[in-house]
């Protein structure tokens, strides 16, 4: 079977991206082949191709999450959600090379796709959802508490808002003026960025916030979090690891052992939430697979207005 896919031929970013045709290996035991209907587009996809590394790893497959249908399945193989067959609709997360027309992946990365969400939504569910759940875990947030969330209108932020609402957690969500209604729609109390942010948070939460979750990484967000939260073990960032190391708060990453273990265990519950309509994936737009660099430029700009998917 032939596949077309995007790879990075070097570590200079989009200038090194190439759209190539290759022969796809048949699935062995513990593997399935997925015909991709949608591939999720995430900032991490571009960062992965800019991090540098061993030239022997090149060309580097791009894309971490997809949704599609099974077209081949290895012998004696079940997917993570149970028995599966050719033709089943599925989603897969933490794969390599999702920007493709088809790919062969480990079956333990693959789950049945809920009928209640479409392929672009399914292809964007787990990276943002697992990250959001991990932030709430790391900050030890419990029912009845009030937390501060930076970049509340972004993909991870919207997932945090929905999970927090289900758990009875109050969220003050920082955002730009054009995103106030989105934060409110998903259960947060919007607080606009800009001068006087600390005072606005204090006015909105006179009893204080017990934790701060950062998905933007600006100095304003970090400085505000550190001023308002006394316990630095409850200040969590997913984008500012250098400041976290220097100033003694928590930085999360999907490759860190504790996060990796937790994110693996939470996947099935997030899919159930999506199936039941409790975890929505707001979509901004889709692009043809051949336009992957254009889609990545939009996402890397930081304000896509929702999730983005590539459609083969």
Q: Across the chain, what does the average pLDDT equal?
A: 96
* Percentage, residues of the chain above pLDDT 70: 100
Check whether domain 131-251 has CATH 3.30.70.1280, yes or no: no
Same fold, 2-125+281-311 and 131-251: no
* Residue 140 predicted with pLDDT over 90: yes
Q: Can you give the pLDDT at residue 285?
A: 97
Kindly state the average pLDDT of the residues 116-124.
Answer: 98
pLDDT digits (tens, 9 = 90+) for 70-80: 999 999 999 99
* Residue 187 predicted with pLDDT over 90: yes
C-alpha–C-alpha distance, residues 87 and 23, integer Å: 21
Q: How confident is the model at residue 243 (pLDDT cuts 50, 70, 90)?
A: very high
Dihedral, CA atoms, 170, 174, 177, 180, nearest 10 degrees?
-20
Kindly state the average pLDDT of the residues 60-86.
Answer: 98
**Long-range contacts of residues 177-180, Cβ cutoff 8 Å, at least 24 apart:** 179/152, 179/153
* Percentage, residues of the chain above pLDDT 90: 93
- Residue 288, token pair as written in the block: 């043809």
Q: Is 87 exposed, middle or buried, given 0-12, 13-18 or 19+ CB atoms closer than 10 A?
A: exposed
Q: How confident is the model at residue 185 (pLDDT cuts 50, 70, 90)?
A: very high
At the second CATH level, the architecture of 2-125+281-311 is Alpha-Beta Complex (3.90)
* Residue corresponding to tokens 């497959």: 61
- Residue 144, token pair as written in the block: 């009845």
**Whether the Cβ atoms of residue 213 and residue 149 lie closer than 8 Å to each other:** yes
- Half-sphere exposure for 152 (CA within 13 Å, toward CB): 33
**Whether the Cβ atoms of residue 192 and residue 215 lie closer than 8 Å to each other:** no
Q: Can you give the pLDDT at residue 67?
A: 99
Q: How confident is the model at residue 65 (pLDDT cuts 50, 70, 90)?
A: very high
* Residue 56 predicted with pLDDT over 90: no
* Residue 303 predicted with pLDDT over 90: no
pLDDT digits (tens, 9 = 90+) for 264-296: 999 999 999 999 999 999 999 999 999 999 999
* Sign of the dihedral through C-alpha 84, 85, 90, 96: positive
Per the DSSP assignment, residues forming a β-bridge with 36 are: 68
What are the structural domain ranges in the chain? 2-125+281-311, 131-251
């Amino acid at each position: 079977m032939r596949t077309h896919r995007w790879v990075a031929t070097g570590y200079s970013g989009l200038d090194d991206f190439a759209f190539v045709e290759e022969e796809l290996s048949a699935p062995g035991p513990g593997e399935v082949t997925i015909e991709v209907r949608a591939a999720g587009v995430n900032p991490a996809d571009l960062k992965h191709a800019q991090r540098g590394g061993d030239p022997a790893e090149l060309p580097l497959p791009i894309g971490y999450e997809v949704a599609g249908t099974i077209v081949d399945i290895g012998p004696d193989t079940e997917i993570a959600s149970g028995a599966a067959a050719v033709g089943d609709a599925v989603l897969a997360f933490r794969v390599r090379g999702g920007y493709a027309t088809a790919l062969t992946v480990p079956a333990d990365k693959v789950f049945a796709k809920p009928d209640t969400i479409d392929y672009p939504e399914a292809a964007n569910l787990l990276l943002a959802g697992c990250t959001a759940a991990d932030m709430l875990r790391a900050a030890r947030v419990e029912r009845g508490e009030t937390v501060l969330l930076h970049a509340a209108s972004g993909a991870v932020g919207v997932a945090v808002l929905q999970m927090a609402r289900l758990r009875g957690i109050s969220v003050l969500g920082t955002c730009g003026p054009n995103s106030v209604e989105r934060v409110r729609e998903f259960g947060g109390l919007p607080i606009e960025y800009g001068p006087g942010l600390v005072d606005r948070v204090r006015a909105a939460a006179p009893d204080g916030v017990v934790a701060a979750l950062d998905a933007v990484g600006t100095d304003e967000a970090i400085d505000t979090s550190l001023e308002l939260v006394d316990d630095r073990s409850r200040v969590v960032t997913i984008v500012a690891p250098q400041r976290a190391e220097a100033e003694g708060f928590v930085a999360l990453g999907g490759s860190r052992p504790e996060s990796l273990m937790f994110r693996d265990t939470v996947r099935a519950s997030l899919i159930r939430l999506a199936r039941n309509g409790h975890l929505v994936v707001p979509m901004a737009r889709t692009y043809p697979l051949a336009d992957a660099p254009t889609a990545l430029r939009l996402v890397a700009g930081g304000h896509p207005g929702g999730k983005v998917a590539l459609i083969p």
